[in-house]
Structure 1
Amino acid sequence: MSEMDVRVLFVACVLPVMVLGFQDGAGAQACLNLIPVHDGTTANTTQAPYSITVNATSIKQGTTVTVTLNATAADGYFKGFLVQARCTKCTTADTAIVPGTFAKYTASDDTIQTKNCAGVDQNSITHTSAVEKTSAMFTWTAPSDFDVSQGIEFRAAVVQTRPIWWNTVMSDEISVTAAPSSSSQSALGMAVVLVSITASLLL
């Protein structure tokens, strides 16, 4: 086998691995710092042509918010992304992934998939292929024991093409408030019953 044949064989073997790594979703290396492993590239420092929006700015512990990643330019698109919920009031805010749970907004959507980062189930969400997309919609459920003194925001690394990507795409901050305790809910239910009984006696 000639030296040229060896080179061609090497490229033929390595190239699919590189491409599949891009197509099948963000790699584990991107989990901590939202930096995709694209050899020889760095994050774009211009204003990202993408946005992350949420359908609520305050939710209760254990409840769900809808999150949408959009291309904001008229002809904009993206091929890959990784989105996480990050703590905004932690001392390690830049690296603190909030262990909530992502899910597809539409169960049949085959363009996105949840991802386990740092050994935590479904705490991130990413793409499934390098097909051009203009938006992605998913949900995130806050932990039932979330520390309400902290806040969260959704952060993303978004890849337009392999050399061009941003990791400064962020949502507005969301506050998480305490869910009613079971005793409070029982007391409320009892109060409603008593009011109903009293009203019926007065009739």
Structure 2
Amino acid sequence: MAHWNFSLLFGSAVLWAMLIPCRAFPTGAPASACENMLPVHTGVQPQPTRAPYEFLLSSPSFLNGQPINIQILGPAYKGLLLEARSFGSNAALGIWKTPPNNTKFLQCSGNPHGAVTHSNTNLKTRQTTYTWLPPNSGCPPVVMFIATVAQSREIYWTNVKSKVIWKNPKATCGAQMLTRTWPAAALLSSMLLILLVYL
């Protein structure tokens, strides 16, 4: 009898150990998904078909200090991981403003507001609007939005991308160049020395 109880206890422990990794994250993507955008849905692969989702953006260009509104058009969805990125980089760019209902911030690339993810499995629709702010410095020439969108634990798409948006010519958030400021007297002295050399 004692042997049977031990076997039952051991079998239960093994079963739980097998089931726990198979759980999805109903309250949001883990930080480990920030770079590869893959949900931890053990035994389930992303859909191989083209995603039935596209982005609706409020502007074709970005300007630091000016928010960009994003909507994901397509069927209702339960899970989401949404970031802004530049080409050739997995780092989350800019910050997201207060997430809409049923979503929350996810810290990515050391940025507490670097991404948005679901906070529950309630349905999100095309009316759900996400608001992004460009960084104040170090803006790349173009930005795109990238998402993983899940209709359920078993049905999800990764690498859903928006069209690129360009940095507005009026933007002041470009890569900062190193500049030296010279006092007027030093600048005048340097110019006089140059003139004397050539005279």
Is TM (by shorter chain) over 0.5? yes
Q: TM-score, normalization: structure 1?
A: 0.71
Residues 81, 2 of structure 1: alpha-carbon distance in 2 compared, 3 angstrom cutoff: same
2:6 is equivalent to residue 7 of structure 1: no
Q: Aligned partner of 2:60: which letter?
A: T
Residues 173, 55 of structure 1: alpha-carbon distance in 2 compared, 3 angstrom cutoff: same
Q: Aligned partner of 1:159: which letter?
A: A
Residues 129, 105 of structure 1: alpha-carbon distance in 2 compared, 3 angstrom cutoff: closer
Q: Secondary structure at the match of 2:11?
A: helix
2:117 is equivalent to residue 126 of structure 1: yes
Residues 23, 171 of structure 1: alpha-carbon distance in 2 compared, 3 angstrom cutoff: same
Q: Aligned partner of 1:101: which letter?
A: I
Residues 102, 180 of structure 1: alpha-carbon distance in 2 compared, 3 angstrom cutoff: closer
Q: TM-score, normalization: structure 2?
A: 0.73
Partner of 1:195: none
Bigger proportion of residues as strand: 1
Between the two proteins, what is the percent identity of the paired residues? 27
Q: Following the alignment from structure 2 to structure 1, what is the Cα–Cα distance between the partners of residues 32 and 165?
A: 27
Write out aligned runs for 1:20-99 (5 A): 21-70=24-73, 72=74, 76-88=75-87, 92-93=88-89, 95-98=90-93
Segments of 5+ residues of structure 1 without an aligned counterpart are 182-203
Whose radius of gyration is greater, 1 or 2? Answer: 2
Runs of at least 4 residues off by over 4 Å: 9-19
Partner of 1:102: 96
Q: Following the alignment from structure 1 to structure 2, what is the Cα–Cα distance between the partners of residues 23 and 132?
A: 12
Find the partner of 2:142 among 142, 148, 151: 151
Tell me which of the two structures has the higher relative contact order, counting C-alpha pairs closer than 8 angstroms and 6 or more residues apart. 1
